[in-house]
């Protein structure tokens, strides 16, 4: 898996600096974050956006794992993108 180095950080809370984007899988349960980048097939990105997952959105992780359950603007969306796409978030402090 990619980004193994992130696993050693507890990425919720103030321990991590605001500027490090990490894959959404690593957002801890009940942590908030902001989507900063999404990459993958354009048609997949389009569908994500139609469901409300897009850059600049605030997300909250409800249930971590594969698939994970995230909360965006009060809606819960389950998500498993596999290797074909990535969503990067910056965890919010506090």
Q: Which residues contact 70 (CB under 8 A, 6 or more apart)?
A: 24, 27, 53, 59, 60, 61, 62, 76, 77, 78, 79
Among residues 48, 59, 87, 89, which is the contact residue for another protein, using CB under 8 A? 48
Instruction: Name the nearest CA neighbour of 53 among 24, 30, 31.
Output: 24
- State which residue, 20 or 63, has the beta carbon closest to another protein: 63
User: What mask of x and - would describe binding to another protein in positions 52 to 71, judged by CB under 8 A?
Assistant: x-x---x---xx-xxx-x-x
Query: Using CB under 8 A as the criterion, which residues of the chain lie in contact with another protein when the complex forms?
Result: 29-30, 32, 42-52, 54, 58, 62-63, 65-67, 69, 71, 73-82, 84-85
């Amino acid at each position: 898996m990619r980004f193994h180095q992130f696993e050693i950080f507890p990425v919720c809370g103030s321990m991590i600096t605001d500027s490090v984007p990490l894959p959404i899988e690593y957002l801890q349960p009940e942590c908030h974050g902001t989507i900063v980048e999404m990459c993958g097939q354009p048609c997949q990105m389009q569908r994500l956006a139609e469901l409300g997952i897009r850059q600049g959105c605030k997300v909250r992780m409800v249930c971590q794992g594969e698939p994970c359950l995230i909360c965006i603007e009060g809606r819960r969306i389950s998500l498993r993108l596999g290797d074909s796409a990535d969503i990067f978030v910056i965890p919010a402090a506090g």
